[in-house]
Structure 1
């Protein structure tokens, strides 16, 4: 039986729930929110949909005890309006740390011993705080981190160079925030290094312009509809499926770095134990300096908890 929990049934949480139910990924689903009426409403709406689906998911709500035998719990609580006012994910920090203080003891008391996938912002700091507060291992708790930012990089590069985004390889690394950066030295299009591919097309590379467009991608979505949901929910579900199927999926997520003693977006292999191992990749000296700067940015702000 494949059982999931979602803590925080806002735009992201409910999109994850809808995906799990309509794709038949979840046999059981537990929805928990500070607003009980929201959980009730989403439960009923998803149950109505199931009369027209080929699969059935048992949906329960508002009971942490039900998480004891869950395979995966998604932490998706947030306060997007706080970020709206400042344009900065750290604006949610006070609210989301308070959410972790509320959630972690109840998650721990439930006896849950599965995998936690965090989407809550600021993602790196909150994932680390949740790991420390829950008592779960760094292997069991990780965040979506720069998995989404990497997808945005793939989209931007594919649009610039007339390629399918699925055929763009490489990573956005570091903080899921302003100090993130693209490791351009490893970016490839159709298995060709980006520099070589751009030359073939007779196009100039402006890394600064590309990176700015990538960084602002999330805010462009947010400004248009008031929140982001599809991209991040898709990332979270893909990571969950990698855990369930022991896929050994290599991708950039927010996980613990022994080198910098912080959670940060870096390549890791995802399998049945969560983080199977961090995959060290070759970076240029400049990219390594940016990675270190990003780690220090996260640590400095995490220290304010």
Structure 2
């Protein structure tokens, strides 16, 4: 059975995701789509040149939505990174652009007959994931945002650096919006066989500072090179491969939570059928309040995008 991935948006993130897919042999067919024809054709040629020195072969196609009809997963990396260069580091700065471009792409995805899973990177990711689901009409559990999968990785890296261990030895989650209202749910974090609250007390860790480092990690990278790409592209490809391999993995991704009435990041079991089981964490009262604040903010911003959504249905 042919494994096929589509990537829409070949900026810094989309290109990094495409290279990861090709270098690791995650797909037999890869469809690249971008409004800039010269750019997407150049990326495709560059990737084909790379294949001669790789142990895997990938067939690469460009700017043909009809090729997405039988894709397993589409990764959305549409964006305008220049809008992120704003004084408040607000991920919603891209919304006036993405809420127009994404419904157009979603409409073409729907018209192609696509019936697979969509993995959304495009910011603001929770709102954009909602838009993709509504315009395509796909089941909610088949449209998933990378959400705080990357924020959680940043938190784990920050904790690990303080303890001089591998970040994969830290377990726990950042929840809510992939943006300024996201937060580290310290009640979920364990390290060295204990809750982090115990380790923090013994080792003198400042959890407020670690939460801050996780929240601003993306901004730190952005201000250094005016874009981010490796961390989020890796998150997206991991999520896509988790779906395609039916890995049944617990991940903090943006998925639709009925109790909040919106997409937001919360751990779920992900496999071939997308979000296959939603977890229910024992959060503290403070964490629950923060999660509700995130949910309310996402819903407000989604409502502001209503006109652009309706015009593309």
Q: Which TM-score band applies after superposition, normalised by the shorter structure?
A: over 0.9
Aligned to 1:150: 152
The secondary structure found in structure 1 opposite 2:52 is helix
1:269 corresponds to which residue? 269
Matches of 2:290 and 2:35, distance apart in 1: 38
- Quick one: distance in 1 between partners of 2:90 and 2:296? 17
Q: Which residue of 1 aligns with 2:34?
A: 33
Contact 1:187–1:193 (CA under 8 A) maintained in structure 2? yes
- Which residue is 1:122 aligned to? 124
When the two structures are aligned, how many residues end up with a matched partner? 303
Q: Report what 2:91 is aligned to.
A: 89
Matched residue, 2:288: 288
SS of the residue corresponding to residue 217 of structure 1 reads helix
Residue 189 of structure 1 is matched in structure 2 by: 191
What secondary structure, in the 3-state scheme, does the structure 1 residue paired with 2:150 have?
Answer: helix
CA distance in 2, matches of 1:302, 1:106: 21
Cα distance in 2 between the residues matched to 1:203 and 1:11: 39
1:163–1:189: 8 Å Cα contact kept in structure 2? no
| Aligned-residue offset at 1:117 | 0.1
- Tell me what 1:110 maps to: 112
By how many angstroms is 1:85 displaced? Answer: 2.3
2:143 aligned with 1:141: yes
CA displacement 1:5-30 (0-9 Å, x = unmatched)? 00001111111100111111110000
1:258 corresponds to 2:266: no
Residues 29-78 of structure 1: per-residue CA shift (max 9 Å, x gap): 00000101111000100001111111110000000000001000000000
Separation in 2, partners of 1:81, 1:191: 43
TM-score (norm 2): 0.95
Q: Show structure 2 runs of 5+ residues with no match.
A: 306-313
Task: Give the Cα separation in 2 of the matches to 1:205 and 1:197.
Answer: 8
Equivalents in 2 of 1:256, 1:204: separation in Å?
37
Q: CA deviation at 1:208?
A: 1.9
- Displacement after TM superposition at 1:101 (Å): 2.0
Structure 1 stretches lacking a partner, 5+ long? none
SS at match of 1:6: strand
Distance in 2 separating the partners of 1:204 and 1:48? 51
**CA–CA separation in structure 1 for the residues paired with 2:270 and 2:278:** 9
2:14 match = 13
CA root-mean-square deviation:
1.0
8 Å Cα contact 2:186-2:197 kept in structure 1: no
Indicate conservation of the 8 Å contact 2:200/2:206, yes or no.
no
Q: Hey, what does 2:235 align to over in structure 1?
A: 235
Q: CA deviation at 1:206?
A: 2.3
After superposition, the C-alpha distances for 1:85-138 in whole angstroms (9 at most, x for unaligned) are 242110000100111121011100000000000000000000001110111110
SS at match of 1:56: coil
How many angstroms apart in 1 are the aligned matches of 2:132 and 2:120?
Answer: 9
Q: Secondary structure at the match of 1:4?
A: strand
Q: CA deviation at 1:300?
A: 1.2
SS of equivalent to 2:181: coil
* Shift in Å, 1:163: 2.0
What is the rounded CA distance, in whole Å, between the counterparts of 1:196 and 1:303 in structure 2?
42
